[in-house]
Amino acid sequence: MKTVIYYFTGTGNSLAAARKIAGALGDCEVIGIASFANTAGTVVPDAGRVGIVCPVYFAGLPAMVASFAERLDTASARYVFSVVTHGGGGGSAALRQLDGILKEKAGRGLDAGFAVSMPGNYILMYESPAGEKRDRLLAAADADLERIAGQIRQETRLKLPNSPVTRIVKALTYPRFRSHVHGDDRKFTVSDECTACGTCASICPAGNIDLVDGKPVWNHRCELCCGCIHLCPTGAIQAGSRTGGRQRYRNPSVSIAELKRQRENEP
Ligand SMILES: Cc1cc2nc3c(=O)[nH]c(=O)nc-3n(C[C@H](O)[C@H](O)[C@H](O)COP(=O)(O)O)c2cc1C
């Protein structure tokens, strides 16, 4: 049976996860949620199995994913699943948020939801793991994803995970994130190390960056995915005073070229 997986990613973890599952399932289309950003109306997937793969932001969904889910009509799908990637926690609340949105739209929610731990990329708050630690995390995620793909192939129905602590964290942090996220790019700056290569503008899933005289200008439609900061080849983009010395991160199995395509309806 055909599967369609809709994904959102900043630094590649969720695309790597989506691709891994797609490879294990076969006959699977992998579509960037960002490619729907300039469209309107209900999205009806042309597949019996439907998945959403995205990162956890403040124990909830990225704003663009929540808006997309509100448009997604899964009523006629046989099996609906989600995989959320995260750096440490919050997956259960994000999955429950998605389940609620889908139920409201189509009267049916997730048949299964999975949270996979991957390297954290919220560089405004901490440094991403590097070296052996990063590799260990990715190897463990790979093993998790293999097991998860098996459950999806068998269309296993699972009760969604639940964590009262995570629910509280979401209640305390997510509303502020959602109300400020698009303007959070006001913290972003670019230094003279910028070579005007345009990578930041081309990988931004929100299409939020224009180049003016070769330098990035942010237009306050930010998703806070941190892709521009992590993927700038010279590390010229900062958010406040703390990101300067911090390690940059990109999922090593995902290329810049692939990240550029997420607004184009291509894996
Ligand atoms: C704005 C933002 C908020 C985040 N919030 C959380 C969180 O609440 N819990 C968590 O475990 N990881 C959090 N993370 C880390 C990401 O969920 C994690 O690194 C994810 O795998 C990144 O996926 P991507 O590479 O597909 O963008 C956050 C990252 C960003 C950029």
Note the pLDDT of residue 111.
Answer: 98
Mean pLDDT of 24-41: 96
Place of tokens 């607004």: 263
User: How confident is the prediction for the chain on average, in pLDDT?
Assistant: 97
Q: Ligand 1 within 6 A of 62 CB?
A: no
Take atom 2 of ligand 1 and give the residue whose Cα is closest.
57
Q: Ligand 1 within 6 A of 13 CB?
A: yes
Residue 191 and residue 52: Cα distance in Å, rounded?
36
**Per-residue pLDDT reduced to its tens digit, 115-157:** 999 999 999 999 999 999 999 999 999 999 999 999 999 999 9
Fold classification of 182-239 (topology level): Alpha-Beta Plaits (3.30.70)
The CA-to-CA distance between both ends of the chain, in Å, stands at: 19
Asked if residue 110 lies in contact with residue 95, where contact means CB atoms within 8 angstroms, the answer is: yes
Determine the residue of 20, 57, 138, 187 to mutate for testing ligand 1's pocket, defined as the one with the most ligand atoms within 8 A of the Cβ atom. 57
Residue 95 and residue 5: Cα distance in Å, rounded?
15
Q: Ligand 1 within 6 A of 120 CB?
A: yes
Residue 224 Cα to ligand 1 middle (Å) = 10
- Ligand 1 atom closest to the Cα of residue 60 is 8
- What percent of the chain is modeled with pLDDT above 70? 99
* Residue 191, both tokens: 């230094």
The CATH number corresponding to 3-168+256-263 among 3.40.50.360, 3.90.550.10, 3.40.50.720, 1.10.510.10 equals 3.40.50.360
Q: Ligand 1 within 6 A of 11 CB?
A: yes
Q: Ligand 1 within 6 A of 10 CB?
A: yes
Mean pLDDT of 68-76: 97
Q: Ligand 1 within 6 A of 60 CB?
A: no
Residue 152 Cα to ligand 1 middle (Å) = 23
Asked if residue 108 lies in contact with residue 80, where contact means CB atoms within 8 angstroms, the answer is: yes
Q: Ligand 1 within 6 A of 129 CB?
A: no
| Residue ranges of domains in the chain | 3-168+256-263, 182-239
Residue 1 Cα to ligand 1 middle (Å) = 31
Residue 87 Cα to ligand 1 middle (Å) = 6
Instruction: Report the residue count for the chain.
Output: 267
Residue 267 and residue 264: Cα distance in Å, rounded?
9
CA-based nearest residue to 215, from 201, 205, 202, 226? 201
Note the pLDDT of residue 102.
Answer: 98
Residue 120 Cα to ligand 1 middle (Å) = 6
Q: Ligand 1 within 6 A of 235 CB?
A: no
Residue 242 and residue 140: Cα distance in Å, rounded?
29
Note the pLDDT of residue 247.
Answer: 96
Q: Report DSSP state, residue 43.
A: B
Q: Ligand 1 within 6 A of 128 CB?
A: no
Residue 232 and residue 195: Cα distance in Å, rounded?
10
Answer yes or no: is pLDDT of 267 > 80: no
Residue 207 Cα to ligand 1 middle (Å) = 19
Q: What is the DSSP string of 74-125?
A: -TT-SEEEEEEEESSS-HHHHHHHHHHHHHHHHS---SEEEEEE-----TTT
Residue 31 and residue 98: Cα distance in Å, rounded?
18
Asked if residue 10 lies in contact with residue 250, where contact means CB atoms within 8 angstroms, the answer is: no
Residue 267 and residue 260: Cα distance in Å, rounded?
10
Residue 245 and residue 228: Cα distance in Å, rounded?
16
Q: Please list, in sequence order, all residues whose beta carbon lies within 8 angstroms of the beta carbon of residue 54, skipping any fewer than 6 positions away.
A: 7, 8, 9, 14, 33, 61, 62, 65, 82, 84, 85
pLDDT level of residue 39 (50, 70, 90 thresholds) = very high
Mean pLDDT of 104-117: 96
Take atom 17 of ligand 1 and give the residue whose Cα is closest.
86
Note the pLDDT of residue 266.
Answer: 47
pLDDT level of residue 264 (50, 70, 90 thresholds) = confident
* Residue 172, both tokens: 């305390």
Determine the distance from the C-alpha atom of residue 186 to the mean position of all C-alpha atoms in its chain, rounded to a whole number. 21
Mean pLDDT of 98-112: 96
Does the model's pTM come out above 0.95? yes
